[in-house]
Structure formats: C-alpha cells, structure tokens
DNA sequence: CAGGTCATCCAAAACGTTTCGGATTTATGA
DNA sequence: TCATAAATCCGAAACGTTTTGGATGACCTG
C-alpha cells in the first residue's frame, strides 16, 4: 500500500504551505503563475486525488442521496421500484452523487430518516408511495431536510413533488372499457391511505359518470398490490351471481393475479373478461395475453426527481417542481380480445 | 434546521470532556458506570448520531457496502439485478449496514472502485458479472479490499465467490430439449468475456455429447443479453434453409426477443419452435406461452453474498465460501407445447 | 521619503471523531 | 506511613480539506 498523496505531502515536496497548495489546485488568483505551475506539475506527477472525506467534512456534505424503501422482506423486486431507482441512480451518478438504498419496514422508517440525516449520511431524500396524511413528509418538512417525493400529500404544504396524473390515467383506462361496451366494471382499488389510490378512484368514477353509468359500490374492492391479492379478489368477484365483464387492477402485478384467476375459472382473458392493469411494467407487454395498462415513465420520473433534489440540495434557483406527468394508455389484447393478438404485426 | 448534536455539544451539556463522552458511548472500561449512564441518557434524549464523516476521516468503518453496477444508460432494470440488489439490501440492513449503489459505465468502473475505497465510502464491495480475465478482481485483490463476487474468475486466485452452476443448469435445459426429440438446437450464447458464458456453453456441449448429437458450430451464435439482440439473432436463425427446431437464449430477456421473432415468422412458440431461457425472472412464468427456463435463486444469492462480505469485513472466522449453487430447471409450455398450457390447473 | 496599493504567501482554525499518553484521585498492600 | 496499583478522567494530536484573516515585501504615488 503506497503512502497516500495529500496536500501535506505535496506541500512538503514543493516547499510551499498546505494552504498555497490547496489554493493553487483550486485555481485561486492569489497564487503566482510560476508557483501554480510547479504545484500542478508535482500533483500530476504523483497522481494526487483530493480525499473526499476531508473535503466533505469541511463542507458538511456527503454527496449522497438516499431512498428509503418501505419494504417488508423480499418485496422490493417490484419492477416499478427498480426502474425508479435506476433512474435516480443514473442521474445521481452523473452529478457525482452516490445513491444510498435503505430498505426498512415501515415501523422503523422514521427512525431511518432520522439516522440518515443526523449522521449526515445523505444530503437529501427521495420519498415514494406518499400517503394522504404522511408522517414522513411532516417530519421532513419540520426538520427542513431537503427531499422530493414521488407523489403528493395532504398533510402539509409541500410543493417538492413529482407525480403522475392518476385521475387522467384511470379515467382513460375506464373510458376505454366503457367504449368497448362494458358496464359491469370491477375496480380493485389499492390500499386506502396511499395518495394515488384516491386519484385513481376519482378517475374511475369520473369516467363512469361521464358515460352515465352508475357506480356499483359492490364492484369496488380494496386489496393489496400483490399478485396473490389480485388473484384472491378476482376469484371472489367471479364467483358472484352477476360477475363483472371487466376487472381493473391496482397495478400490473395485481392484474397478473387477476388473469390467473380468470383462467382458473375457465374463462378467457380479453374475450370473456377484460383485464386492465396500471404501471406499464416491461413484462406487461409480454403477458398472456398482453396486458392493457396505463404506462408511467418511472425511469424518467426517477431522473427528474433526482435532478430536482440535487437542485434543492445545492440551493439553486427554484426548479420546475411540482410536476404532474401525464400517463399513457396502452390498449392491448387483455381488453381488446385475443383476435387482435393474432395480428402479429403489432409486436414489431 | 436544529443545531446538530455532536460530541462537543454532549460534552458541554454533561460537563465532561469530549474524550470521555466518546469513550462512554464506545463502551470503554475507563468510564465510571454512573458517568456512562449520565452520558448515555443525555445522548438518548438529544438523539445523538455519530457523524459518519468525522468517524471515517478518523479511519474507521463506514458501515456501508457498495455495488457497482456495470450499466450503460437505463439498462439496469434487468429484473435479475433488481432481485440481487434486494437480497443484498435486506441482509445489509439487518446488520446495520447501508447499501451504496454506484451505476457506472464500464469505462469508468475501475475509477469508481478507486474512488469508493480511497474515500473509504464503503467497507467492502460486491461484484457482478465476472469475466475470465477480470481487471476489477485483479485490482481489488492487489489492493486488499474486501469483496465478494457473484461469479468466478480465472485472473487470480480468488475464493470469495458465490456462483450458480452454469454447466449443470444449461446441461439440464439442453437435455430436456434432447429428450423431447430436438436435434437441431440453436444456442444464443452470451458475450464472450463473461465467465458464466463459458460454463453454460460447456453444459450445452456436454448435453449434446452425452446424447451423441454432434454440435453444429453454425447453430451457436454470440449475442448481447437484450431483448432486441434475441429477436435479431432468432430472425437470422429462422431464415436459414434448415432452421433449428429449438432455440436456447442466453437469458430470459433475450428469450422474450426470440419469442417475438418466432411469432413474427408466423410460427408458434412451443409447438413449432421450442424456446428456452435462463435466470427464471418472475415474468417468465407469465409469458405467452410460459417460458421454460433455468431458475437461479438470485435474491437468496444476494443475501448470502452480503452475509459473507460482512463476515470478511469484520474479519470473522472463515466463512463457507466459495459456494456453488445448483440451479433448477423449470419446464414450461415454451418447450412442452401449448397443449400443456391449457391444463390450467398447473397455474395454481 | 511616507503612505498606499498589489501580489504573493501562510498560520491557524474549523469540521467531528478516535486514541495516545498522561494526570489526578482513590483504594490497596506491606 | 509510604509506595503502588487501580479507577477515572482529560488535553492534545491526528485524519485531509477549505477558509479566514493576516503578514511580508515589492512597487507605485505624491
């Protein structure tokens, strides 16, 4: 292990003080050209790299942003999260920031935030899955920690968010089904506290209202966002005397569960029962049949969230938050029917 | 922003010196029990967290492990990586370690390692996608950095690895196809330098040899691990005068591309052309038709890798590395034919 | 020649932590 | 009683950097 090259060793080698070496390298004007050249040469020759820690300790920055993932057990593999993280990571790397992942079950989540910030481990935070009354947002706002959330909230005035327009998204999907002639449309709504749940439900209702279709409360069921939850709920729906002709799931994972249930009842997805998802994960295109869903550009959202957070951290002029992104309806065979799937050409 | 709680502020509050506060919190024996209690209480009350930077600068551990992801652009969303990261994250969190993600294109990868370690950002590293001659492993071994790799290497003596038995996996899949009567089996092999490429190819060849089938070099084509690469390569294969009856892809993503190509040629996957993948990503089960693949327990591998790395970092008694995990063949409709898919019950 | 302006340099403090070596007090043993 | 050991505490240095507030001469101006 070679002795590290520090400002001190450079100072000793060149005969100048640590201060002068530091300022020469930083490009200050109170160093004579000849001195600067000498120091730069020496630094170059010995391969000097500033020690990040010294620099950070001095400036009280860690050059790191963190994402706390609310997860219990091996649950994170939701492709939705993965893409968001990827977007954030790429953007952060570009700015020379590192990305800290902190998987925490929700009970210890607040503790995780506190620890990250008081240990000055991260300069800012990214939040996902916001809630109407979100204790995390309240806490972070109170303590003045820089953060950006993917999702809105009601709990406090908070504008550093970026979100996808759930009302428009769900409305587009539901209208699509209504246009196809469906009247008994079931909606498996995501867990109550989550903010996007409310918007999507609103979109669902608005679409029905605009078509003059009465919303049947019995067709709106709350369930988790897992495949299993989708399957179980769909089973219950299909066992009814008057089963729905279309089932809209809370996300794509849930929709996969619904598709299983439909098939298990001996029905054909897309022909006998239409199924809709939400998120537009990559796999949705390759499902059997391809899933009609609402695409959210999560990777790009991750990038934008990271960029905005970095701007806030470095206290740059106000950025363009909040942002409401418009999602995109992807109509595929799970609602259009499998005849269209045979077209083949649609895949290219 | 409240004034940060530091050793100094705790010292002022309790009336002891910074040294004593530090040693009390660290559990040294030269602090009287009553003093320690007092200091601990005060630290607790004010929510003291040691500043990571100060501690690191001093030359201590960072309680962090890092994964450098070799990625160009928005490529990381490979579910395979995501699951690995999830496994690592969960295990690290349990030990009180944080996980640093550092996405880098391969050109700057070595630089990333150097930066992470000289700045002592991380106590250890996790490597993925090893190569036969892996400059990263050579560098890390030379500098004595604690690390564990997912995959073997030839470049240096290195035993801190965990890998999946690619020979056995590919052999099982190929034998499966041979048993179904296939003789013209194409193999889209992953990029050359990668270590697992060699093992899988060996498994492919061994299976053929054991069945007395001559390996046709024209049926072995090297391609990238993307969906597009799979599609392009399969197109070429299917255009030949004597097309293969089965195509084995380098991973599941590539297999999806192959399936597209097969369909684009007007052929039925599983009936006209058998398709095999590798990895066993969650989506593989829900493809159209479900994909025959070789399952690798990536999440668990991530956990084990993290556990082992933590053991190495804390210089605990030698752990049980290296480990060679046995993968599992998942035979599904993409090779068995779609008639079996109609069974329906198989889904439950 | 006195006063002022520049150009160039540097000592010291600061960030928060750990640790080395000693200092002070109290208890122990002969 | 005196020396010795043990218990408890702390000052100061160190890690590598940046920044503040001068200091030192050289040069100009009047």
- Averaged over A171-179, what is the pLDDT? 98
Is the pLDDT assigned to residue B33 strictly greater than 60?
Answer: yes
What phi and psi values does residue A293 have, to the nearest 5 degrees? -155, 175
Please give the tally of structural domains in chain B: 3
Burial letters for A190-210: b for 16+ Cβ neighbours within 10 Å, e otherwise? Answer: beeebbbbbbbbebbbbbbee
Which residue is listed with tokens 């391609």?
A: B223
pLDDT at A348: 32
Chain A environment of B100 (Cβ under 8 Å) = 64, 98-101
How far is the C-alpha of B195 from the C-alpha of A18, rounded, in Å?
47
Mutate to test the interface with B, among A54, A286, A343 (most CBs of B within 10 A): A286
Residues A307 and A290 in one domain: no
For residue B291, pLDDT over 50 is answered with yes
B337 and B198 housed in the same domain: yes
Task: Give B33 to chain A, closest Cα distance, Å.
Answer: 26
Q: How close B94 gets to chain A, by Cα (Å)?
A: 9
Q: Is residue B24 part of a domain?
A: yes
Nearest residue on chain B to A346, alpha-carbon basis:
B264
Residue B18 approaches strand C within 7 Å at CB: yes
Q: What is the mean pLDDT of residues B308-321?
A: 82
Q: Tell me the CA–C1' distance in angstroms for B38 and C22.
A: 25
List the CATH number of the domain containing A95. Answer: 3.40.50.2300
User: Does B193 lie in the same domain as B153?
Assistant: no
Checking if the pLDDT of A134 tops 60, the result is yes
Minimum mean pLDDT range among A5-14, A200-209, B71-80, B183-192: B71-80
> Hunting for tokens 């990777």 — which residue is that?
A299
Residue B300 CB neighbours (<10 A): 16
Tell me the per-residue pLDDT of B58-93, one tens digit each, with 9 for 90 and over. 887 888 899 987 665 445 557 788 889 889 988 998
Tell me how close the Cα of B50 comes to any Cα of chain A, in angstroms. 6
> Using the CA of A23, which nucleotide's C1' is the nearest one?
D18
Same domain, A321 and A254: no
Residue B347 vs residue B27, higher pLDDT: B27
Contact B119 A53 (CB under 8 A): yes
The residues close to strand D, meaning Cβ under 7 A, are A 4, 6-8, 18-19, 22-23, 25-26, 30, 48, 50-51, 53-55, 57-59; B 15-20, 23, 30-33, 35, 57-59
Confidence band, pLDDT 50/70/90 cuts, at residue B200: very high
Q: For residue A260, list chain B residues with Cβ-Cβ distance below 8 A.
A: 347-348
- Please check whether residues A265 and A320 belong to one and the same domain: no
- Tell me if A272 sits within 8 A of A243, measured CB to CB: no
| Amino acid B168: pLDDT | 98
- The rounded distance, in Å, linking the Cα atoms of B306 and B88 is 5
In the predicted model, what is the mean pLDDT of residues A265-293? 92
User: What is the pLDDT at residue B346?
Assistant: 32
Looking at the structure, tell me whether residues A175 and A232 fall in a common domain.
Answer: yes
Please tell me the predicted confidence (pLDDT) of residue B261.
Answer: 95
Token duo for residue B231: 């599609």
Is residue B344 very low, low, confident or very high in pLDDT (cuts 50, 70, 90)?
Answer: very low
Average pLDDT over residues B84-104: 87
Confidence of residue A157 (pLDDT cuts 50, 70, 90): confident
Shortest distance, CA A286 to any CA of chain B (angstroms): 6
Worst-scoring range by mean pLDDT, A194-203, B22-31, B203-212, B282-291? B282-291
B257-260 contacts at long range (C-beta below 8 A, 24 or more positions apart) = B257/B226, B257/B227, B257/B228, B257/B229, B257/B230, B257/B231, B257/B232, B257/B233, B258/B188, B258/B230, B258/B231, B258/B233, B258/B234, B259/A286, B259/B287, B259/B288, B259/B291, B259/B334, B260/A347, B260/A348, B260/B227, B260/B230, B260/B231, B260/B234
Q: Before B245, cis peptide (omega within 30)?
A: no
Is 70 exceeded by the pLDDT of residue B210? yes
Q: Is A30 within the bounds of a domain?
A: yes
Q: Which two tokens stand for residue B105?
A: 């294109």
Q: Assess if residue A116 is contained within a domain.
A: yes
pLDDT, residue B345, reads 31
| B250 falls within a domain | yes
Are A176 and A35 within one domain? no
Q: What is the mean pLDDT of residues B285-289?
A: 85
- A205 within some domain: yes
Q: What is the mean pLDDT of residues A35-45?
A: 93
Which sign does the torsion angle of CA B179, B185, B190, B191 carry? positive
Mean pLDDT of the A176-198 span:
95
Strand, helix or coil for residue B57:
helix
Chain D bases closer than 7 angstroms to a protein Cβ: 7-12, 14-20, 22
- The per-residue pLDDT for A344 is 34
% of chain A exceeding 70 in pLDDT: 93
Clarify whether residues B222 and B336 are in a common domain.
Answer: yes
List bases, strand C, within 7 Å of protein CB: 7-12, 14-20, 22
How close B209 comes to chain A (CA, Å)?
Answer: 34
Average pLDDT, chain A: 89
| Cα(A203)–Cα(A205) distance, integer angstroms | 5
In this model, does residue B212 exceed pLDDT 90? yes
Residues of B whose CB is below 8 A from A121: 52, 98
* Residue A124: strand pairing partners: A65
Same domain, B89 and B200: no
Q: Could you tell me which residue, B20 or B107, shows the higher pLDDT? A: B20
Residue A317, pLDDT score: 67
Q: Tell me how far apart the alpha carbons of residues A76 and A225 are, in angstroms, rounded to a whole number.
A: 12
What is the separation of C-alpha A122 from the centre of its chain, rounded to a whole number of angstroms?
18
Distance CA B69, CA B302 (A): 14
- pLDDT at res. B71: 63
Whether A2 maps to a domain, the answer reads no
* Chain B residue with the nearest C-alpha to that of A97: B102
Indicate whether A45 and A192 sit together in one domain: no
Calpha distance B2→A247 (Å, rounded): 50
For the segment A165-176, the average pLDDT, to the nearest whole number, is 98
The more confidently predicted of residues B95 and A348 is B95
A263–B344: do the CB atoms touch at under 8 Å?
Answer: yes
Residue A154 lies in a domain: yes
Least confident span in A39-53, A132-146, B104-118:
B104-118
Exposed, middle or buried by CB within 10 Å (0-12, 13-18, 19+), for A58? Answer: exposed
Is residue A76 predicted with pLDDT exceeding 50? yes
A111 to chain B, any CB pair closer than 8 A? The answer is no
**Strand, helix or coil at A97?**
coil
Residues A337 and A207 in one domain: yes
pLDDT confidence band for A339 (50 / 70 / 90) = low
- Residue B214 — very low, low, confident or very high, per pLDDT cuts 50/70/90? very high
Put simply, the chain B residues between 54 and 93 with a CB less than 8 A from any chain A CB are: 54, 56-57, 64, 69, 71, 73-74, 76-77, 79, 81-83, 85-87, 89-90, 93
For residue A236, being part of any structural domain is answered with yes
Which letter, b or e, does each residue of A106-120 get, where b requires 16 or more Cβ atoms within 10 Å of its Cβ?
eeebbebbbbbbbbb
> Whole-angstrom Cα distance, residue B51 to residue A117?
9
CATH number at residue A37: 1.10.260.40
Q: Which domain holds residue A41?
A: 7-50
**B205 and B181 within one domain:** yes
pLDDT for the residue numbered B2? 66
């Amino acid at each position: 292990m070679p002795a590290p090259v520090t400002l001190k060793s450079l100072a000793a080698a060149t005969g100048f003080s640590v201060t002068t070496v530091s300022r020469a390298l930083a490009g200050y004007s109170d160093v004579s050209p000849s001195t600067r050249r000498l120091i730069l040469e020496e630094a170059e020759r010995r391969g000097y790299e500033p020690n990040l820690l010294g620099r950070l300790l001095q400036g009280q920055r860690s050059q790191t942003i963190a994402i706390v993932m609310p997860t219990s057990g091996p649950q994170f593999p939701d492709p939705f999260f993965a893409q968001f993280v990827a977007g954030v990571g790429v953007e952060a790397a570009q700015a020379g920031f590192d990305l800290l992942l902190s998987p925490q079950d929700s009970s210890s989540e607040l503790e995780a935030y506190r620890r990250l910030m008081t240990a000055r481990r991260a300069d800012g935070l990214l939040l996902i899955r916001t809630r109407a009354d979100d204790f995390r947002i309240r806490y972070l706002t109170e303590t003045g920690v820089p953060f950006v959330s993917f999702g809105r909230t009601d709990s406090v005035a908070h504008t550093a968010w970026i979100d996808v327009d759930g009302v428009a998204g769900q409305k587009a999907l539901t209208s699509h089904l209504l246009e196809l002639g469906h009247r008994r449309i079931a909606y498996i709504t995501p867990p109550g506290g989550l903010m996007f749940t409310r918007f999507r439900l609103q979109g669902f209702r608005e679409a029905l209202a605009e078509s003059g279709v009465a919303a049947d409360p019995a067709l709106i069921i709350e369930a988790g966002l897992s495949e299993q939850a989708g399957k179980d709920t769909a089973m219950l729906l299909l066992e009814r005397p008057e089963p729905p002709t279309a089932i809209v799931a809370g996300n794509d994972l849930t929709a996969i569960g619904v598709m299983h249930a439909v098939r298990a009842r001996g029905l054909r997805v897309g022909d006998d029962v239409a199924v809709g998802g939400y998120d537009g994960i990559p796999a949705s295109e390759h499902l059997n049949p391809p899933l009609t869903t609402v695409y959210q550009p999560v990777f790009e959202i991750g990038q934008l969230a990271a960029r905005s957070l970095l701007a806030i951290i470095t206290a740059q002029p106000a950025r363009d938050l909040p942002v409401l992104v418009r999602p995109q309806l992807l109509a595929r065979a799970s609602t259009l029917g499998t005849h269209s799937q045979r077209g083949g050409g649609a895949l290219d």
